[in-house]
Structure 1
Amino acid sequence: MGSAQTVKTARLGHSFTDHHPRGIAMQKFADEVNKATNGEIKIDVFGSASLGSEQQMLQATQSNVQQFYLGSVSPLAGRQKTLQIFDFPFLFQNHDEVANVLDGPIGQEMLKNLSKLRLHGLTWSGGAFRDLANNKHAVNTMADMKGLKIRVMPTKVAIDSFQTIGMNPVPLSYTEVFTALETGVLDGHEHPVVDMYQNKVYEVEKYFTVTRHVYTPVVLVVAEKWFDALTPQQKDIIQKVAQETQVFQRAEEIRQADDAVNQLEQAGMQISVLPPEELDKIRTVVKPVIEKHTDIIGADFVKKFIDEIEKVRQQTVQ
């Protein structure tokens, strides 16, 4: 055990419950780092947004008030435009495709570029496809979506996409969603299914639709200032444990997502799957949104990213 003088403490914040794959993974990460450094690094984990919203936690990590953050990068997308690509609808087809792109050259380049924001990117530790839930009626077609007041991520791509489909997007922090559904401020929301189940949306929503319209990755980052003060050996341990945790977290997220749809149904929600022909209609309708935001993000980067997806897709087919 390190002496009191040599113990480095850190706070890790995320917005998920202790039973969420990400909550489980982050406790595992903290325990393994403590073990591998013989107690020299002690990470305290704060879940369920107890340190604030994702935006607040990211700002706290940038200024080293909080040392680690696990969550979405969308609050950073205003200052680092390339991150907005993750809001593009229907980019990815499956989890393997996502893993190969994020662990490949372009994903790693995006991770490194977080240093411009005083963050050291450790790993794309997981993520999930997003689906739709509401309390008005079953959604089986694009036409069924029209007029629904839906909470979306507070990003321009998400807002533009849902407006184009015909919904009324409401950008809210996720921590406010349950109350907004309860009080009728919202008709529904779109989010990964595990979070929906863990946050008991079946108490305030009746209809769940599998759409898998966007894949939202989550990143594990550390305050650059705190990380830079570590010894090379300590840095290596944190990076190694982050990679090991990533393998565990991704597998656990996929496992729990498969279970969560059944659990929502058992809890009384009506489940439907948007048919391929309806998804094709949505793809056609949102094309102008993608074109508009391609220009904002940078056409060269978008092309490079989509080329990487195509390359991975071809390798999978072979």
Structure 2
Amino acid sequence: MTTHFQLRRILLATLAASAMGAGAAYAEVKARVGHAMPESHPQAIAMNKFAELASTYTNGNVKVQAYHSAVLGSDEKQLQAVQAGTQDLYIGTLAPLSSRVKEVQVWDLPFMFRNSAEVYAVLDGASSKKIFEKIAPANLVGLTWTGMGFRNLSNSKHRVAKPEDVSGLKIRVMTNPVALDTWKTLGANATPMAFAEVFPALEIKALDGQENPLQHMWANKMQEVQKYITITNHVYTPSALVASKKFWDSLSPADKAGVQKAATEAGLLQRKLLDEGDSLAVENFKKAGVTVDSMPAAELARMQDKVKPVLAKFSPQIGDEFVKGFFAEIEQARKAQ
């Protein structure tokens, strides 16, 4: 006959087993985060920090391994893998999604921002949150927006001191219609190309130049294949840290909160490192023999005027109301400075 004491022991054992089973549902999760930048770039440093913080804030439940230098594939391939659930996390441009999420293209419109403070205000604002909402049907969970930097022009032919100097240069541009139209409007022979192909194309003179943030250029050794850099700050390129829905759904609520906290802090670190590093990048380029010039303000204003038709053309395609709200956030940030 089963005694009261035995029944109590059986009940306690059952409860303990149930608790262990519940814990097993959220067992240690191993995740991969990938991106295109080499280990010396602020984004790589930030992702290493993200991996460390994710483990700390989840009490060791989530172990993230960072993969740098596009070892998991190009931005486009990694985004596809995250959508499919075969890669857990990705940080970089969302430009490959622009055909299905038109709002992503707003970041490619030229000459919107005067400084990084305006950029960060918009990255933390309603428009950027709206883009994360828009990518959710693609099985992506937006964790945080961070920076990559203002884009500037480099080439191997000659100094660019006025808009006319761009004419005829064969410039690699991002594979999106806004960038393509912007540089065609300026008279360049604009050539869309995956970034992984850019260095060898510059090396064999199949391209004259490219445009990217300064620290991006330095980390990818543009000083070896480019002689001139012109500071234009024509477009700001942000980075988004996104998770696959499959990975996100495998986490407990507490672990989701921990990973989100780690993502936010790592994104802020990346912004800080970028803000601190541009002047050093200029010094490094000059020491390497690259001529670095800032385009004169009057000539930059002429360049801005030349590309106004690009804004007029693409605003309706992106969504007039969305673009209007985006510019309103910029103006609000500008007034607050």
| Counterpart-to-counterpart distance in 2, 1:173 and 1:83 | 18
Alpha-carbon distance in structure 2 between the residues aligned to 1:127 and 1:79:
23
2:331 alignment partner in structure 1? 310
Q: 1:106 and 2:93 equivalent? A: no
Question: Which residue matches 1:55?
Answer: 76
Tell me how far apart the structure 1 counterparts of residues 106 and 82 of structure 2 sit (CA, whole Å): 23
Pair 1:133-2:154 in alignment: yes
Does the 8 Å contact 2:58/2:259 carry over to 1? no
- Quote the Cα distance in structure 1 between the aligned partners of 2:328 and 2:137: 25
Instruction: Please point out which of 230, 240, 245 is paired with 1:224.
Output: 245
Instruction: Note the C-alpha offset of 1:127.
Output: 2.3
Cα pair 2:36 2:70 within 8 Å, conserved: yes
Q: Note if contact 2:127-2:322 (Cα within 8 Å) is conserved in structure 1.
A: no
| TM-superposed deviation, 1:36 | 2.3
Deviations 1:170-205 (A, max 9, x none): 101111110000111100000011011111111111
Normalised by the length of structure 2, the TM-score is 0.91
Name the aligned partner's letter for residue 127 of structure 2: I
1:7 to 28, 41, 58: 28
Select 1:238's aligned residue among 247, 255, 259.
259
| Aligned pair partner of 2:107 in 79, 86, 98 | 86
Query: Mind listing any 5+ residue stretches in structure 2 that lack a counterpart?
Result: 1-22
Partners in 2 of 1:164 and 1:22 — Cα distance?
32
Q: Report how far residue 304 of structure 1 moved.
A: 1.2
**C-alpha distance in 1 between matches for 2:250 and 2:218:** 40
Pairing partner for 2:95 from 49, 74, 97: 74
- Greater shift in the superposed pair: 306-315 or 22-31: 306-315
Count matched residues: 315
Equivalent-residue separation in structure 2 for 1:46 and 1:247 (angstroms): 20
Please state how far the C-alpha of 1:83 moved relative to its aligned partner: 0.6
Q: Give the match for residue 42 of structure 1.
A: 63
Q: Distance in 2 between matches of 1:216 and 1:149?
A: 21
- The two structures have a TM-score, normalised by structure 1, of 0.96
CA deviation string 1:134-189 (max 9, x = no partner): 00001111111110000010100000000000000110111111000011110000
Choose 151-160 or 5-14, whichever is displaced more.
5-14
CA RMSD of aligned residues (A): 1.4
**CA–CA separation in structure 2 for the residues paired with 1:247 and 1:150:** 32
% identical equivalent positions: 42
What's the offset of the Cα at 1:298?
1.3
2:303 to 282, 298, 301: 282
Q: How far did 1:126 drift?
A: 1.9
Of 54-63 and 307-316, the range deviating more from structure 2:
307-316
Which of these residues, 185, 195, 205, is aligned with residue 184 of structure 1? 205
Shift of 1:301: 1.1
Identify which of 170, 195, 205 aligns with 1:149: 170
The letter of the residue matching 2:262 is V
Letter in 2 for 1:157: V
The aligned residue for residue 290 of structure 2 is 269
- Give 3-state SS (helix, strand or coil) of 1:43's partner: strand
Query: Structure 1 counterpart of 2:143, which letter?
Result: L
Deviations 1:264-318 (A, max 9, x none): 01011011110111111111111111111011111111111111111221222xx
Secondary structure at the aligned position of 1:126 is classed as strand
SS of 1:190 mapped into structure 2: strand
- For 1:14, give the aligned amino acid: H
Name the CA distance, whole Å, in 1 between partners of 2:108 and 2:311.
10
Residue equivalent to 1:121: 142
Q: What code does the residue aligned with 1:310 have?
A: E
The one-letter code of the counterpart of 1:271 is V
Match of 1:249 among 255, 261, 270: 270
Q: Give the partner amino acid of 1:29.
A: F
1:159 paired residue number: 180
Larger mean Cα displacement after TM superposition, 20-29 or 119-128 = 119-128
Map of 1:204 onto structure 2? 225
Residues 150 and 236 in structure 2, CA contact (< 8 A), matched pair in contact too = yes
User: Once the two structures are superposed, what CA deviation does each residue of 1:69-115 show, in whole Å capped at 9, x if it has no partner?
Assistant: 00011111111001100000001111111111110222222223221
Whose Rg is larger?
A: 2
* Partner Cα separation in structure 2 for residue 127 and residue 113 of structure 1: 21
Amino acid at match of 1:106: S
Q: Does 1:299 align with 2:320?
A: yes
